[in-house]
Amino acid sequence: MVSEAFEEKLRMVEIVCNGWVFLSSFDSGNLGSVEAVQPSVTPNNTCSSDSVNDQPDFEFNVWTKPDCAGTEFENGNRTWFYFGMREGLPFSNVKINIVNLNKQCKMYAQGMTPVYKIVPGKNHWERIKDKPTFNMEDKQFTVSFVYRFGDTRLQTVYFAFTYPYTYTDLLNHLAALENHSKTKLGHGDNNSEPKQDDIYFHRELLTYSLESRRVELITISSHHGITKIREPRLPNLFPDQNIPRCFRFLPYKKVVFLSARVHPGETPSSFVMAGMMNFLMSREDSIAFALRRHFVFKLIPMLNPDGVYCGNYRTDTRGVNLNRVYGCPSAHLHPSIYGARAMLRYYHHGTIVPEEEFDEKPSSIEDRVSGLSLSKSQLSLGPGETATYKISCGSGSEMVVSLEPDKELTSSRVITPIGLGRVGNTNDDSGLFTYIDMHGHTSKKGIFMYGNHFDNLNMKVECMLFPKLITLYSQHFLFDSCNFTEKNMYIRDRRDGSSREGCGRVAIYKATGLVRCYTLECNYNTGKNLNMLPPPYRDSLERRSHPNLIVPPKYTPIIYEEAGKSVLSALLDLVGMHPNTRLINSVYHSITTVREVLRKRVIMEEMIEKDETNDKKKHGGKLAARKIRGNKNGRSRIIRTEAVHGRRNTQESLSGLPGRKLSEKKKKKKKKKLRDEGGCSSGKRRIEKKCCSIESSRRLSMEHRRKKLKAK
């Protein structure tokens, strides 16, 4: 194993300092070293004015360990910390300075606070009550907070960067779900035939990590469309021969592929995943029932179990950012990513396909054959049958296609027509419906998605449609924070220079052509605003009330779990099968209207981008920046700011029309007038003019009074 010596060292570490015992030798623990300082010593140049009034009784400088500390793969990621304290002076105030963190000024300036829990006692995590201070000194970022301890002889207090979700937590959660699932087709002594609506839950070992930890693959669905044939064992995967593969489903039931925790420190993704799994296993909820009926859910809850267990923030035990190797993962160096990519390609093609034969860069919709139509809407093939199908190409010619049954699936197979005008693996004939990889985010507030960029208008709209629908079910999901730009597909990381072209969202799109490939991002702290949710179609079916909040709250595991449920709920609106949709009571009323609104938005953005390019050429490289904002009427308001001759000219317009520009003659005249008036600002001139008019009116009134007195 790569870090056996490092793990053994962790097990033995227990730091004693100034009468206090610091410990981190547990799952996800991270603590480097500790030193005691005098209580009077406080950090200089603090960036936060909020401080704790109580003078601390003890003060400690604490160092966290970088990723892969003590190995040849040690790197500069130092954001995650997680340690416990005990056996000190009871009921004392202790100030803790985490002195060697990566610079995260923006996150802590927005109100980010560490979390704590007390064992035994308050055995759940809470944010610390007082706002921490932070400063940057000698290129070291330090976060400081004060905590008042209780009876330290009986309790251990744990502190962490954010709410932990450990490898052990995952194993316990999966064991509970497995026990909850009574129907395990092909297992147990239950001889009764399962009903169609029963939950199908299957847990299996996808592969082992570099340090022999389990990378789990979970399948959740109903028994609708299930076959008696098991999925095959793919090369280099499914090492446990005692556990059979899960059963296959008929092709009409598409796969929703969900993954999380490729970056160990991004624990919000695990809480979102936990919320999704709990929701899908619900037997009473009508929405969960509909989801299981229409989709097959494949989940990899933890892609980087080694990094999670060792307390890393971003990399695995070899210092590799696993979210940059999806393009060409190694079965031996990146086993979890290799397994995820292999399974995605298998579900996309419906069979095992050699990597080199089918992975091509997806072409744009203009490059595809247009005008294709099938002579029938569906064709059912029985076992062993072969059918001949005619496809009209619109130009008078015909192609004859022979459809043969899948060698691995001998039951009836439904062939659905290709809807995007291309013979090949488009989104309609793919076995995948959507792919979502879940992450945490430090700086950008709220919960949002990254999608891929498309040149074709229809594909752009389809990519944006799903995130837009999520806003109807989650107050915390911010569509305006979503990013669908081409730049976001290829931008390079500042720290290591790796490109996002190797991330799951981009690489899986390139391997499959799937439009609905997303990264779900969750801020560690809070959001910037909230959505007002429309009421559901049937209030009686709503199991939990969802009061509309006014102010964005601090995020908790419950909020992350609710976000996971909201993401799944929006899937049903995409296929028009939501039993209690909010769409019908929204301002859009139908998915057709949502598409049309997004289409207009995309066209408007393209117009602005084109106009900005022209402005850039016209003004010699000075770019005109514009923002699109929505108003209450659902229309778009464009705020346009141009850089002209070293000053800013802000104009507003409605319905996407640019504001009127000043002519060159008027600009020169205005500039000359400004020089003649001594260069004072327009606001200052207005104040001076107003003062002059008031003074002159006073003088006139006094002269008028004098004349009246003389006349008398």
Residues 6+ apart with CB under 8 A from 523: 268, 440, 441, 442, 444, 445, 446, 447, 555
Among candidate residues 231, 462, 521, 562, the one labeled active-site is 521
Which 8-state DSSP code applies to residue 211? T
CA-nearest of 238, 269, 317, 239 to 165 is 269
Q: Is 536 helix (H, G, I), strand (E, B) or coil?
A: coil
Contact 394, 447 (CB under 8 A): no
CA-nearest of 627, 666, 676, 614 to 645 is 666
Active site residue 486: no
Query: 274: which 2 tokens?
Result: 């936990």
Element (H, E) at 179: helix 167-180
Contact 200, 222 (CB under 8 A): yes
Bridge-based pairing state of the strands 398-403 and 413-415: unpaired
- Exposed/middle/buried for residue 433 (C-beta within 10 Å: 0-12, 13-18, 19+): buried
Q: How far is CA 45 from the centre of its chain?
A: 34
Query: 216: which 2 tokens?
Result: 């789990």
Q: Is 518 helix (H, G, I), strand (E, B) or coil?
A: strand
- Can you tell me which residue has the tokens 């799952």? 27
Distance CA 428, CA 377 (A): 13
Distance CA 271, CA 558 (A): 8
Determine the residue type at 69: A
Contact 246, 204 (CB under 8 A): yes
Contact 273, 308 (CB under 8 A): no
Contact 665, 671 (CB under 8 A): no
Q: Which string of DSSP letters, residue by residue, matches 482-495?
A: -B--SHHHHPBPTT
C-alpha distances in Å from residue 113, one per residue of 90, 474, 524, 536, 559: 24, 24, 9, 35, 16
Distance CA 650, CA 188 (A): 71
Distance CA 15, CA 323 (A): 34
CA-nearest of 27, 26, 3 to 14 is 26
Distance CA 317, CA 333 (A): 10
Query: 460: which 2 tokens?
Result: 């752009």
Distance CA 311, CA 30 (A): 5
Determine the residue type at 336: S
Give the catalytic positions in this structure.
521
